[in-house]
């Protein structure tokens, strides 16, 4: 309850949010926060940990129908990946840099994305886990606000990922 109530406050005010504001948003007494967390930084660290939890992304991608065409399935996965990137970017943009070191971690594999590629393994030129990593990389680089002016659409990313920039019938 405290973590969920704090996220919108961090997105709006960054780390200048007060424990009074957190308590009000959570509908609890301010002292209750300190029964659960050592200090405000511990609350913020818990919010960051929750935001980085890959579980919700896994569950959302698992809901994508594996029987539909791969490009359509990928567009659905890209929507989910783009939203996660934007949400995390907004959070970290509003926090001081001192929180970055506390949450540094190696990249994780999104098993549900690998599974999505497994369903189309016969058409892949790389292993499903490699395809999943490459799609995440392309999605991030085509979406991240610091890398591109206007993010690419899920359809554009899926098409580039699956077909590249090469035309089938090059002009003579």
User: How high is the pLDDT of residue 157?
Assistant: 97
Residues of the chain where predicted confidence (pLDDT) is lower than 70: 100-104, 169-172
Spans of all domains in the chain: 1-52, 54-166
Assigned token pair, 3? 């973590």
Task: Judge whether 57 and 33 are in contact, CB under 8 Å.
Answer: no
User: How high is the pLDDT of residue 33?
Assistant: 97
Task: Judge whether 108 and 54 are in contact, CB under 8 Å.
Answer: yes
User: How high is the pLDDT of residue 104?
Assistant: 65
CATH classification code of 1-52: 1.10.10.60
User: How high is the pLDDT of residue 145?
Assistant: 78
CA distance 141 to 145: 9
């Amino acid at each position: 309850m405290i973590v969920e109530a704090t996220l919108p406050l961090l997105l709006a005010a960054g780390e200048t949010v007060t424990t009074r504001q957190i308590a009000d948003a959570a509908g609890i007494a301010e002292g209750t926060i300190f029964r659960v967390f050592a200090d405000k930084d511990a609350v913020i660290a818990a919010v960051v940990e929750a935001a980085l939890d890959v579980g919700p992304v896994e569950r959302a991608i698992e809901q994508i129908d594996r029987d539909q065409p791969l490009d359509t399935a990928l567009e659905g996965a890209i929507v989910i990946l783009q939203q996660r990137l934007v949400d995390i970017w907004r959070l970290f943009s509003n926090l001081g840099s001192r929180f970055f070191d506390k949450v540094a971690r190696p990249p994780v594999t999104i098993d549900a994305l690998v599974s999505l590629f497994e369903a189309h393994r016969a058409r892949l030129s790389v292993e499903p886990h490699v395809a999943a990593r490459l799609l995440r990389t392309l999605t991030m680089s085509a979406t991240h606000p610091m890398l591109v002016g206007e993010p690419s659409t899920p359809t554009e990313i899926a098409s580039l990922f699956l077909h590249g920039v090469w035309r089938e019938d090059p002009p003579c």
